[in-house]
Structure 1
Amino acid sequence: MSDPVLISICIPAYKHIDFLERLLNSLTVQTFRNFEVVVTDDSPDDSVKNVCVQFQQLLHLRYSRNAVTLGTPENWNEGMRLAQGKWIKMIHDDDWLATENSLQRFADAIEAHPNAAFFFCAYRNNWIGSGRTKDVAINSFYYKELLKQPAVLFSGNMVGPPSVVLHRNDKTFFYDNRVKWVVDIDFYIRYLKTTTAVFIPEVLVNVGMGEHQVTQDCFRKRPVEIPENFYLLGKTGITVLKNMLVYDAWWRLMRNLEIRFEQEIRESGYSGPIHQVIGSMIRWQNRLPRFVLNNGLFSKISMFVHYCLHRNQLRP
């Protein structure tokens, strides 16, 4: 390429060659061409390498086998370190671009918002096996809340997986390799403290859904969710709970993991400080009948009352 690369497509790969071929095929048909592809390979064999060789005549593709297995998310970071484009578009190997104009839409957004450094798009979840699909897009309420306080991502990942995100290649922000469950929202929260997120309300990415994903191994598991959420809270600061969406997220975390005593937090692997408001939240829930907590309306009312009584205690 004679022009500087605008977008680096970073693909952290691991053995899923059928998925990888689908992704690379979706890249070959893109109408926008000023991009490179960087594949960082954690596989123990040459299967991914062999696929990449087949596409090197069709794409500006650079392949790199990791000397040691890096795992999630360090393999993601390796691709970002090798990227030469002005922008980074990570795409996991089980995801793929939705249309031939997907990269053009991202490029158009860059041009339309020259001061922005973070973009994300609507996407389509695709369930492996069943063939079921569902389009996902942030609604106007949550988008406004995200712009005001990125920590609302505690309440749910309304941005989406890394495959739907485009951000500047500033060699400053990387994914925290100390976490897996909250790794994407941690990255987004940190990044969005420095810039405004721009949403592209068009399905540009297909996201593969299946049991092979890391998140499936972490969901509703105390030894994963408890330490990682407290770790992230330590990075954001306790005052983010003044946002009711964040407060409700922590209320639901304690409820859904059925935490009844602070000792269960310790037994889940977290040894740091537990703020008095979270301790009170646990005790409050412990006094409520389980059928009340499991009822969405009653649970919300209980959370709101607790929030009103304890909000002023949320000091650094």
Structure 2
Amino acid sequence: MNSQPLVSAIITTKNRSDLLPRAIDSVLNQTFGNIELIVIDDGSTDETQDVIAEYQEKHSIIAIRNEESAGACRARNQGIENASGEYIAGLDDDDEWYLERISILLDNYDDSCACVTSNDRMIASNRSIVWHKKKIITFDDLLYSNQVGNQVLVKRNRLLEIGGFDETLDAAQDYDLWIRLCEKYGPIRNVKKTLQNVYQDVDVKRISNPKSQLSGYLAFYKKHKNKMNRAQKKYQLFNIRLAQGKVESIFELIGWVPRKRLWKEIKRWIADHYLSA
């Protein structure tokens, strides 16, 4: 009998038959030996079902198929509901785990923290940069911005206790979940190692609808703004204006961004407006 805790790896996918094998292989190749893989196909119209069937011929994979798309949050919640693992670890269908990701995250898990994450390598247009996150990400940190990223390792019962992903949100669903986890269970621990590749230059559609992103983020902001102080609200609104293309000068940036985050935003502005030119 396996003495290791069971980890349920959950991949939600839609029309990514060309990219899905990379994500699946990165789960199957983990050095940690007690993983169940759950793949939720959220209404794909390409060859995704054929890809999953090919893997099922050689590997034990739990496959769930939505004939019509139910959306990213419903698909993720389906994975959580059908999981048997003590721990849940999510993976986007266009990203990939490093071989020791689950082993290292488990070694660093502590119940005094809500969950555990890692540094990510962000890859776009044949360039990559490592996102070096804080070692401990607090509730206060999260009310400024999503400093966790898109995936964590967390106990399944904690996800169930807070109601899983909010299916009413069209954007910032993972960010919303981290805030609720952190509020209830404490800060989020980050392993200061790069354990995941996050690809940002993929042109095919994600599960979420890009047209809904702004209204979805506004809904997220309204949901949590009562928890935020003045500086946090101002920074959130700055990022919304930035996404709308309404921040037209570095002087406007200086007026909106809190002092503790100003240098970061100035560097980002310079990179976006001058170094990339």
Same fold (TM over 0.5): yes
1:224 Cα offset (Å): 4.2
1:28, 1:58 within 8 Å by CA — same for their partners in 2? no
- What corresponds to 2:190 in structure 1? 199
1:134 Cα offset (Å): 1.3
For residues 70 and 87 of structure 1, what CA distance do their matches in structure 2 show?
A: 24
- What corresponds to 2:275 in structure 1? none
Counterpart secondary structure, 1:69: coil
Alignment of 1:195-234 (within 5 A): 195-196=185-186, 197-210=188-201, 211-212=203-204, 213=206, 217=210, 223-233=215-225
Give the letter for the 2:78 counterpart: E
Q: Deviations over 1:80-126 (max 9, x none)?
A: 1111100000111111112x21221122123xx25444111111112
Identity of aligned residues (%): 20
* Equivalent residue in structure 2 for 1:175, among 150, 165, 172: 165
For residues 79 and 219 of structure 2, what CA distance do their matches in structure 1 show?
A: 27
Give the letter for the 1:102 counterpart: R
- What corresponds to 1:80 in structure 2? 80
Gaps of 5+ in 2: 260-277
For residues 298 and 92 of structure 1, what CA distance do their matches in structure 2 show?
A: 36
CA separation of 1:254 and 1:44: change in aligned 2, threshold 3 A: closer
CA separation of 1:151 and 1:230: change in aligned 2, threshold 3 A: farther
- Which structure has more helix as a fraction of its residues? 1
CA separation of 1:180 and 1:31: change in aligned 2, threshold 3 A: same
Based on CA coordinates, which of the two structures has the bigger radius of gyration?
1
- What corresponds to 1:310 in structure 2? none
2:170, 2:215 within 8 Å by CA — same for their partners in 1? no
1:21 Cα offset (Å): 0.4
For residues 27 and 257 of structure 2, what CA distance do their matches in structure 1 show?
A: 45
Counterpart secondary structure, 1:73: helix
TM-score (norm. length: structure 1)? 0.69
CA separation of 1:90 and 1:223: change in aligned 2, threshold 3 A: closer
RCO higher in 1 or 2 (8 Å CA, sep ≥ 6)? 2
Matched, 1:240 2:228: yes
- What corresponds to 2:235 in structure 1? 249
CA separation of 1:4 and 1:82: change in aligned 2, threshold 3 A: farther
The number of equivalent residue pairs is: 254
Matched, 1:118 2:75: no
Alignment of 1:133-152 (within 5 A): 133-139=128-134, 143=136, 146-147=137-138, 150=139, 152=141
Counterpart secondary structure, 1:63: strand
